[in-house]
């Protein structure tokens, strides 16, 4: 009971902080048509790690090539067995291909990305570029940057104290209720979470849409900034904070990615993410004794690392209390039904609020026309049925994700660290 009350209190505080943050930081996006021309101060090296991405990589490269700004795109092929390389070579533009072969391939996303750093260093020297004006970005093979991305990134990196920037993330063409849930989670809830973290100077990098200044990272982390945790983006975040590097969050531009279509894939994905958090526990001693990390950053890290354990214990508590409640009122079905309906409606307040905020933000983005695909914004006119189902899944998805926590804990105990990559449709 105590664990449940603690978890419920933490959850309500998180929700209240996100609602407060939303009203305090309503998006103020400028229409893409009124943005000034991109300056020539920064040069972008955009890394795209690929493993059997033939179905999506061509569209991603075409969009990147057409994006304004100085750039070199580096496709890191991890020994794909489909037509990934054929699709890459079909696109003309500033594109380099870095191929890896087994047994040295498929050793983790972090290891794959590290292989590109020596090439970037060589290209900087070859092109006579200033390292402090070279920005390294990472996007997924299905990622597409909004039309204003380079302009907004230039604006933040113009501040020499900015070492890294994380873009907002949005799901591409969310058709189903499950995909819409993921879009709300990333585009709305994660945005508000990141804005809270920004006040704590504890913005977290994500696997998609992360950008950093080459000179800062090379100087502090060398040629292998990424580690091999299953959550390599959060591990990189910890490395940045331990070295005193400053990460900013950019919510006025975003990168899109494909949403999962099956609950099974979602459970496996979240299990990998949870286990990736467990992988980062070995940094605890460094974090505790670090003089570079701020107290607020340490607090955020402790909370992030311990939250899966709290959630597991809270879910077991909910299961126990539910069973106990059923047996206690089994001879009073009318009371049981009324109470269950009342509690269910109370629980849906969370999903209702975030669904409303989500639809409002989609309408705002539609007005600015910064998205290269109008179909990415289709949920702004959701039907009543879809809205109700979305509210329901958003409010009670934790019942499904409970299995993710159990899987991640089990895998960590037995020492299984396998990257379960989701197949493209």
CA distance 139 to 149: 12
**164-172 and 210-213 beta bridge pairing:** antiparallel
Q: How far apart are CA 291 and CA 129, in angstroms?
A: 33
Q: Are 58 and 139 in contact (CB under 8 A)?
A: no
> What's the mean pLDDT in 160-183?
95
The model's pLDDT over 193-205, given as tens digits with 9 standing for 90+, comes to 999 999 999 999 9
pLDDT confidence of 348, banded at 50, 70, 90? confident
Q: Average per-residue pLDDT in the chain?
A: 88
**pLDDT above 90 coverage of the chain, percent:** 59
The answer to whether the beta carbons of residues 188 and 380 sit under 8 Å apart is no
Read off the pLDDT of each residue in 361-379 and give the average, rounded to a whole number.
Answer: 82
Count of domains in the chain? 1
Q: Contact 352/35 with Cβ under 8 angstroms?
A: no
Q: What is the pTM of this model?
A: 0.91
Residue 109 belongs to domain spanning? 1-425
> For the segment 21-39, what is each residue's pLDDT rounded down to a tens digit?
888 776 666 666 556 655 6
What order do you get walking across the sheet with 210-213 strand by strand?
95-99, 70-77, 43-50, 134-138, 210-213, 164-172, 247-258, 144-145
**Residue pair 172/258 in contact by the 8 Å Cβ criterion:** yes
CB 141 within 8 A of CB 57: yes
Domain holding 413: CATH number? Answer: 3.90.550.10
Tell me what pLDDT residue 383 has: 83
Q: Distance (Å, rounded) from C-alpha 345 to C-alpha 328?
A: 22
Compute CA 325 distance to the chain's CA centroid, rounded to the nearest angstrom: 38
């Amino acid at each position: 009971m105590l664990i449940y009350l603690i978890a419920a209190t933490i959850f309500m505080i998180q929700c209240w902080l996100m609602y407060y943050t939303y009203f305090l930081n309503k998006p103020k996006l400028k229409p893409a048509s009124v943005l000034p021309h991109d300056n020539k101060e920064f040069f972008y090296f955009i890394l795209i790690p690929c493993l059997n991405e033939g179905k999506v990589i061509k569209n991603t490269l075409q969009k990147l090539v057409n994006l304004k700004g100085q750039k070199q795109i580096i496709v890191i092929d991890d020994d794909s067995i489909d037509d990934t390389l054929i699709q890459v070579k079909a696109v003309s533009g500033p594109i380099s291909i870095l191929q890896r072969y087994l047994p040295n391939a498929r050793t983790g996303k972090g290891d794959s990305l590290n292989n590109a750093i020596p090439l970037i260093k060589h290209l900087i020297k070859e092109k006579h570029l200033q390292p402090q004006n070279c920005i390294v970005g990472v996007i997924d093979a299905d990622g597409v940057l909004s039309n204003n991305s380079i302009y907004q990134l230039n604006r933040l990196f113009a501040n020499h104290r900015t070492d890294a920037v994380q873009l907002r993330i949005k799901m591409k063409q969310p058709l189903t209720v499950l995909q819409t849930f993921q879009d709300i989670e990333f585009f709305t809830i994660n945005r508000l979470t990141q804005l809270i973290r920004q006040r704590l100077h504890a913005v977290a990098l994500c696997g998609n849409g992360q950008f950093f200044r080459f000179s800062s990272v090379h100087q502090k982390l060398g040629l292998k900034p990424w580690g091999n945790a299953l959550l390599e983006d959060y591990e990189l975040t910890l490395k940045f904070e331990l070295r005193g590097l400053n990460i900013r969050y950019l919510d006025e531009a975003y990168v899109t990615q494909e949403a999962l279509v099956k609950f099974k894939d979602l459970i496996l994905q979240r299990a990998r993410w949870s286990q990736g958090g467990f992988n980062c526990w070995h940094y605890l001693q460094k974090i505790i004794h670090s003089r570079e990390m701020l107290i607020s950053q340490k607090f955020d890290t402790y909370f992030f690392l311990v939250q899966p354990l709290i959630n597991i214990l809270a879910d077991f508590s909910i299961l126990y209390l539910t069973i106990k409640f059923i047996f206690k009122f089994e001879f009073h079905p009318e009371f049981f039904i009324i109470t269950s309906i009342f509690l269910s409606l109370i629980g849906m307040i969370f999903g209702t609020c975030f669904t409303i905020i989500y639809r409002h933000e989609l309408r705002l983005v539609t007005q600015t026309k910064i998205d290269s695909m109008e179909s990415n914004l289709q949920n702004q006119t959701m039907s009543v049925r879809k809205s109700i189902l979305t509210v329901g899944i958003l409010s009670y998805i934790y019942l499904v994700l409970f299995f993710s926590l159990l899987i991640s804990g089990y895998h960590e105990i037995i020492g299984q660290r396998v990257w379960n990559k989701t197949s493209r449709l």
